[in-house]
Amino acid sequence: MNKLEHVLVAYGDELGYHHGAKFQILAAWQKWYSKLDVSVCVVTDKPELFSDYPVRIIQITSQDAHNWSLAGTQHFGIKLRALEKAMHTTDAPASLLLDTDTYWSKNPRPLINQIKPNKAVMFCDEGQIRGTRNLSINRFNEGLRNREIPWADTSYKLSNLSRMYNSSMIGLHKNNIDLLARAFELFSALEPHVEAHTVEQFSLGETLRLNGVCVSFGSRYTRDWSSIGRKNYATPILKEFFEKFGENDFNTHLKQIDSIRITRPLKILIQQKIARLKGQS
């Protein structure tokens, strides 16, 4: 039995996210993802892009995408349901999801060892909700202050303990699968009241807190290309790689992985900053 399953969720028409999933798998394969006690699962609406990869594939159907995104109104809910489906169909006691625009820079084994029935892992703590100076996080105060929101068989109220945890990484024990369903229910309840794209991760963090699951953080084990500047640089490089070597030739991709450099050179970074400043003037 595998002790851990790494989960990647890739969906949508932008191939960059699917290519990012492949890059993450390739970059981690030799050191971590190929270990005997580890499996890899890709939950995707484009299973054909991963058909030659040594991973377990779960397809996101059009009906899944519709239901999990609240009829297309908020696609971030797909992550919660996709991870839930992956965990329901594996015998691994722990699952560790990492977003497809993020990759491991250090051995994640210490994180894996922290995933227990009473302890989860997420990417980072972005801060308290009440009293925040962050404009995006403050939208939760604006939408939820002094309100009691029906939530399944109970209700939800914002608390002084409420915090924003980043869900670029989610590590959960199999005993806590049901909390993903509860988090999706809270996400569904809160989404109409909060004008933010972070309702999904907030809902998961609150569900874990309210069910007594402690959370530790793993951002220091990763690097990412999630900012606009990094994404604008990395996406064409990955696109060129998979156009050159094809979408489904895992062995060739693995041999050529070291040719991919998605870290921006200083010259490119300066050019992007200058272009951004000119656009603001």
Q: Buried (b) or exposed (e) across 205-216, using 16+ Cβ within 10 A?
A: bbbbbbeebebe
Q: Is the model more confident about 2 or about 116?
A: 116
- pLDDT tens readout for residues 259-276: 999 887 666 666 766 676
Q: What pLDDT sits at residue 122? A: 98
Lowest mean per-residue pLDDT among 12-16, 25-29, 260-264: 260-264
pTM, rounded to two decimals: 0.94
* % the chain with pLDDT above 90: 88
Give the 3-state secondary structure of residue 31: helix
Would you state the pLDDT for residue 30? 93
Write the Ramachandran bin of 212: left for phi over 0, alpha for psi from -120 to 50, otherwise beta: left
**Per-residue model confidence (pLDDT) at position 1:** 66
Rounded mean pLDDT of 108-135? 95
Of 34, 45, 61, 37, which Cα lies nearest the Cα of 8? Answer: 45
How far apart (Å, rounded) are the C-alpha atoms in residues 15 and 48? 12
